[in-house]
Structure 1
């Protein structure tokens, strides 16, 4: 297939473009979010090509993947001359859990019988009101970074991007509580340096540094499902996580401890820091589970099946991709 998609989430897109199709990503002069083009901090295959908005009108596509409201309402039609779902088979990939008053939240692609909303977690599918729009769930998958857990440092690792700005949403306020309860925290992520953490590491270096810590703490209150948590499990790290959103479904009991009781979590983290063998055993269970549930092969197979279904159904309904 020839697939049009915007470069929105680097880690997710890096996994998606491993599928062996032809991928076209819009690019604008300043590589702003409207058109970032190819990734510059991840390695993408050669079958991912950039096209300017002017060039997109002369391109043929089998399907478009939309990820933001503006792509649905404006960018796709303005840049390609084709209306998503009406002139071009379309999937809206919803990466996020709804924000705000949940009972009042309507998805921007709600009540669209001409496209499919693909959620990345069952939690999101449950919480978003999509009206009559068909929905599907394709859970995350990542490229396996390999088993890198050594646990040589009796510290807990945390990965949060923009931890200061996002505050309570990402559980940034809980980090001091872990520290006070005897759990040294090493924070990684964008803007982590403002809180005494480490930022601007390459993906490979980040994975190495995480694996040196004895457990992974996931303090995020409200998110879809952090890819950093899945990566930590792939690395073979034991997990201590808030039992919120999709986490109870994603982390099996043998992989660590999940709870909404922060004292339970701090105690679990202290126990892992004090017992390297227990940490290693839980980490092996975490990795085994992550490889099966969040492996790249399963992810790509699920996406191929959904894309084929969307294109076939669109053609049966009389729509023809150009």
Structure 2
């Protein structure tokens, strides 16, 4: 099967292109958002090829995988075909509704010719999907391996643009853990956030450190995360983050807000999941004092994540959906 898709979400796409199909990603000279091309931060197979927009009309595709509203128009302009009618199409919705939870209608709510795929059951429940045919295909990732050492008495959190996204991703909650342990923040603009937060909280700069993602990042970041005693998942209202699943498969114990899909993803044995931040802080204190307990919780986290978010199941679910669309 030949699939056209945009490189939008690097971690998700890295898992998706491990399948048995041929994948085409548009590429622009500046590698901007609509033409990122092949990944330079992740390892992709040779089955993923780059094609400039001007050459897409000459290409044959079995299906197009859409991930952003304006990609519907990009297909019309770049391929000269109507997605869903002249070219089989799937729309993958990565996110929770941002404007009006529970009542926000999806862009495809009035269409029945494009399959709408959500990445969590929570997302499907909270979007108004209208008459769009919906399904849920939960995340799957490449197993990073059991790397947990917990040798550093520090907590880790991964979040992009914490300063801008603030309360949505729980950036305001990070400082509540600092009296118990230093926190390392990984992600885009993490350094700027860490400096500002450390100054605001009046703590030494080494107690809240930001690490920017650089090339190559993924393998090194996984190793560094696994050296921290526990992983913090503090998002209030986002889709289920792949970094949470990665941390669990690394074997890290997890301290998570009991919000959105995290309630289903994180079993109690994996650490602590609660809307009471005080319980998460106390659990971190316990993990610092009892490293073997932290390790045992991390093993439970890894087992749960491998069982639910394995790559084989993920790819099989997508094959079933795509085969059904083309029949």
Q: TM-score, with normalisation over the residues of structure 2?
A: 0.93
State the partner residue of 1:58.
58
Q: CA deviation at 1:200?
A: 2.1
State the partner residue of 2:252.
237
User: Distance between the aligned counterparts of 1:56 and 1:89, measured in 2?
Assistant: 16
Secondary structure of residue in 2 paired with 1:32:
coil
User: Distance between the aligned counterparts of 1:104 and 1:220, measured in 2?
Assistant: 21
State the partner residue of 1:95.
94
Kept after mapping to 2: 8 A contact 1:183/1:266: no
Q: CA deviation at 1:190?
A: 0.9
State the partner residue of 1:214.
229
In the alignment, structure 1 residue 276 sits paired with structure 2 residue 275: no
Aligned mate of 1:197, from 193, 207, 210:
210
State the partner residue of 2:184.
186
User: Distance between the aligned counterparts of 1:24 and 1:160, measured in 2?
Assistant: 28
Secondary structure of residue in 2 paired with 1:197:
strand
User: Distance between the aligned counterparts of 1:26 and 1:236, measured in 2?
Assistant: 36
Q: CA deviation at 1:284?
A: 0.5
State the partner residue of 1:2.
2
Kept after mapping to 2: 8 A contact 1:272/1:279: yes
Q: CA deviation at 1:28?
A: 1.2
State the partner residue of 1:124.
123
After superposition, the C-alpha distances for 1:247-282 in whole angstroms (9 at most, x for unaligned) are 010011111110000111111111112111000001
State the partner residue of 1:303.
318
Q: CA deviation at 1:103?
A: 3.9
In the alignment, structure 1 residue 256 sits paired with structure 2 residue 256: no
User: Distance between the aligned counterparts of 2:100 and 2:91, measured in 1?
Assistant: 22
Secondary structure of residue in 2 paired with 1:102:
coil
State the partner residue of 1:162.
161
State the partner residue of 2:152.
153
Residues matched between the structures, number: 310
Q: TM-score, with normalisation over the residues of structure 1?
A: 0.95
Moved more, 190-199 or 135-144: 190-199
State the partner residue of 1:289.
304
Q: CA deviation at 1:87?
A: 0.5
Kept after mapping to 1: 8 A contact 2:103/2:127: no
User: Distance between the aligned counterparts of 1:152 and 1:90, measured in 2?
Assistant: 47
Secondary structure of residue in 2 paired with 1:173:
helix
RMSD: 0.9
Kept after mapping to 2: 8 A contact 1:244/1:260: yes
User: Distance between the aligned counterparts of 2:294 and 2:280, measured in 1?
Assistant: 14
Unaligned runs of 5+ residues in structure 2 are 195-208
